[in-house]
Structure 1
């Protein structure tokens, strides 16, 4: 079903119901397709996603380990006298 955005404003509840039942609802602007209404489907594995998010949050809460010293990170570009190679 194609319907203009202007007409859809007064029928949004009905259009949502039809989209949830599987109807294809396309909103048009100036006669051209702009938006398609689609139902939101439950996410499979929501519990595993929660566990993953909890693990990421726990990992982010730990203190980061120190990496290499940035002051010496470009030494390979210079010789023993400090001149560019």
Structure 2
């Protein structure tokens, strides 16, 4: 939707609501696009970020499969004498 700046002055509240709802609102000056109204992305709060990290940890640990410990992953490269085989 394109609206001239002059017309937008009287309906700014409605134009902001439409932009927040996802409509593309372009303000024009002398028939040329000048400004686009877009909603600001809301940033998650610290509590929301912490909750997301906890959910990711739970999902990750539920999908983990048991295996060889990374601490011992190179043991098969060395012989009993400690030298490379």
TM-score by length of 2: 0.51
SS in 2 for 1:23: coil
| Gaps in structure 1 of 5+ consecutive residues | 48-85
Equivalent-residue separation in structure 2 for 1:42 and 1:13 (angstroms): 19
CA offset at residue 41 of structure 1? 1.3
Aligned to 2:13: 13
Over the aligned positions, Cα root-mean-square deviation in angstroms equals 1.5
Equivalent-residue separation in structure 1 for 2:35 and 2:43 (angstroms): 22
Tell me whether 1:34 sits opposite 2:34 in the alignment: yes
SS in 1 for 2:11: helix
| Gaps in structure 2 of 5+ consecutive residues | 47-85
Aligned to 1:68: none
Matches within 5 A, 1:1-85: 1-44=1-44, 46-47=45-46
Structure 1 ranges of 4+ moved more than 6 A: none
Aligned residues, how many? 47
TM-score by length of 1: 0.51
